[in-house]
C-alpha cells in the first residue's frame, strides 16, 4: 500500500491533516524533515498526485510531481 506524504510545518499539523483525511498513522508520512518545513525528505516518489496532501511550495510540487504525466487540473 502506497503512503500519503503530508506537507506540514510541524508533526502536530501533519497529524491534524491526516486525521482530517481519515488516515491511520501507518498510511502517511510527513514530507519534510529537519527544522520545521525546512526541506523535503529524499526519495519521495508517488504514483499519483492524490498521495500528496497538505502544504507544498510550487517548487516542491514541481520536484515531487516531475516524473508524473502532466495533468491540466493541477496546473
| pTM of the model as a whole | 0.83
Mark residue 54 as left, alpha or beta (left: phi above 0; alpha: psi -120 to 50; beta: remaining).
left
The domain segmentation of the chain, as residue ranges, is: 4-74
Which stretches of the chain drop beneath a pLDDT of 50? Answer: 75
Q: Are the CB atoms for 52 and 74 separated by under 8 Å?
A: no
Reported as a single tens digit per residue, the pLDDT across 36-51 is: 556 788 889 899 999 9
Amino acid at each position: 500500500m502506497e503512503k500519503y506524504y503530508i506537507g506540514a510545518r510541524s508533526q502536530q499539523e501533519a497529524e491534524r491533516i491526516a486525521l482530517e483525511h481519515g488516515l491511520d498513522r501507518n498510511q502517511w508520512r510527513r514530507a519534510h524533515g529537519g527544522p520545521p518545513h525546512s526541506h523535503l525528505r529524499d526519495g519521495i516518489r508517488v504514483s499519483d498526485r492524490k498521495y500528496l496532501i497538505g502544504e507544498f511550495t510550487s517548487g516542491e510540487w514541481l520536484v515531487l510531481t516531475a516524473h508524473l504525466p502532466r495533468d491540466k487540473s493541477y496546473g
